[in-house]
């Protein structure tokens, strides 16, 4: 008898501002060994400062906390808390009321770490009994109290790609730009909702991927707050070590020697940056070498945000018995570019899949 996909939802309680939480342990504790009955699982975070790394990255980090934490820790050094982030100047946040300014977290560093480290809102894992899957929390404390986080996991055996299409995304003439893909003006979300209903997809995903010819651009799911996306993110694309330098001692003796808009770091510079970051944390040379090998092999586009694809969660709504896209309150799919696009247009391929 063929198993239907099974979805579970969890509420997680981080123990600190940064925390690694093994979701598979929580599933086993609350729902038994349901994951072992399926080949794959789709993990979804509903937060902009907490999410997952792809399985391929975690494999390089041996699925172990002693490797994952230094990996994320490198980005904590690049984007330290309480640096001069525009997002954290709450007096400039015109969308906030005076009451909201009193409680709004100053967490630009967490957003930038999420984007730059390649963390994602949704990832797919091949189920491997006994291997942890980490929910990575970057901003787990608010007002001295640990926050409550939500994640959903959908276990399944296969997927059927039911529809694909290519979409043009208008961008500005500016070299560095970010575009909110769920802006009502482009009509993408309405089109996707119609396709979900037309193909009767109750459980599945929507994959958005840059077309192969698109270079110097990336995709993420995060908060589209003007100061964060149009100032802080722009500044790190111009100079990725700016905020680390502003906080004082950093890995390069002369950071001004790096051209402001250079995205592809020299390997020599990467070694110096990460040697100091890892030394500061007392990590062994073996761990340093493994982490460096990941960054040196990958283009700097991966290092600075920049996945070429994102996934959105389609989940069954029990009230309507239909599928719908599920987002966290502040989540938006975002296209980022750091060089101008030809014709002020980028192209993405969009695929709707059904889980089976």
CA atoms within 13 A on the CB side of 271: 5
Cα radius of gyration (the chain): 20
Cα–Cα distance measured from residue 186 to residue 316, given in angstroms and rounded to the nearest whole number: 25
Q: When comparing pLDDT for 239 and 17, which is higher?
A: 17
Portion of the chain with pLDDT greater than 70, in percent: 82
3-state secondary structure of 193: helix
pTM (predicted TM-score): 0.86
In the chain, the percentage of residues whose pLDDT exceeds 90 is: 57
pLDDT per residue over 23-68, tens digit each? 999 999 999 999 999 999 999 999 999 999 999 989 988 899 988 9
List phi, psi (to 5°) of 191.
-65, -40
Residue 148 has pLDDT above 60, yes or no: yes
> In this model, does residue 299 exceed pLDDT 80?
no
Beta bridge partners, 150, equal 11
CA 50 from chain centre, in angstroms, equals 8
Domains of the chain are 6-355 (2.60.120.460)
**Separation between Cα atoms, residue 133 and residue 63, nearest integer Å:** 7
Confidence tier at 103 by pLDDT (50, 70, 90): confident
Alpha-carbon distance of 244 to 76, in angstroms, equals 9
Distance between CA 336 and CA 341 in Å, rounded? 11
Q: What is the pLDDT of residues 258-267, one digit of tens each?
A: 333 333 333 3
Pairing of strands 332-337, 217-222: antiparallel
Window from 18-27, 55-64, 107-116, 238-247 with minimum mean pLDDT: 238-247
Res 118 pLDDT > 60: yes
User: What does the block give as tokens for 292?
Assistant: 């460096």
Q: Which of 28, 55, 47, 5 is nearest to 314 (CA)?
A: 5
Confidence of residue 82 (pLDDT cuts 50, 70, 90): confident
């Amino acid at each position: 008898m063929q198993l239907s996909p099974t979805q579970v939802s969890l509420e997680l309680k981080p123990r600190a501002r940064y925390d690694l939480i093994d979701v598979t342990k929580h599933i086993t504790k609350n729902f038994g060994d349901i994951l072992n009955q399926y080949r794959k699982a789709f993990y979804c975070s509903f937060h902009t400062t907490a999410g997952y790394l792809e399985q391929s990255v975690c494999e390089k980090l041996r699925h172990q906390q002693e490797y994952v934490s230094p990996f994320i820790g490198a980005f904590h050094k690049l984007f330290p808390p309480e640096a001069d982030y525009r997002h954290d100047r709450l007096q400039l946040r015109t969308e906030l009321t005076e009451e909201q300014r009193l409680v709004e977290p100053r967490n630009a560093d967490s957003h930038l770490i999420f984007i730059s480290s390649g963390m994602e809102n949704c990832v797919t894992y091949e189920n491997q009994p006994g291997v942890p899957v980490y929910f990575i929390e970057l901003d787990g404390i608010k007002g001295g109290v640990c926050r409550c986080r939500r994640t959903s996991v959908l276990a399944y055996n296969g997927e059927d790609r039911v529809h694909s299409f290519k979409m043009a995304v208008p961008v500005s003439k500016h070299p560095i730009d970010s575009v909110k893909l769920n802006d009502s003006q482009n009509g993408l979300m309405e089109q996707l909702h119609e396709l979900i209903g037309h193909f009767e997809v109750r459980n599945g995903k929507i994959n958005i991927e840059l077309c192969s010819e698109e270079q110097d651009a990336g995709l993420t799911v995060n908060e589209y707050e003007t100061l964060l996306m149009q100032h802080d993110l722009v500044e790190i694309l111009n100079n990725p070590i700016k905020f680390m330098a502003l906080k004082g001692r950093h890995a390069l003796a002369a950071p001004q020697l790096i051209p402001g808009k250079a995205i592809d770091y020299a390997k020599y510079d990467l070694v110096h940056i990460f040697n100091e970051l890892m030394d500061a944390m007392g990590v062994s040379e073996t761990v340093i070498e493994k982490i460096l090998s990941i960054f040196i092999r990958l283009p700097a586009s991966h290092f600075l945000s920049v996945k070429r694809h994102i996934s959105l969660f389609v989940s069954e709504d029990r009230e309507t018995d239909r599928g719908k896209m599920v987002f966290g309150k502040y989540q938006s799919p975002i296209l980022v570019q750091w060089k101008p696009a030809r014709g002020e247009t980028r192209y993405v391929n969009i695929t709707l899949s059904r889980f089976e």
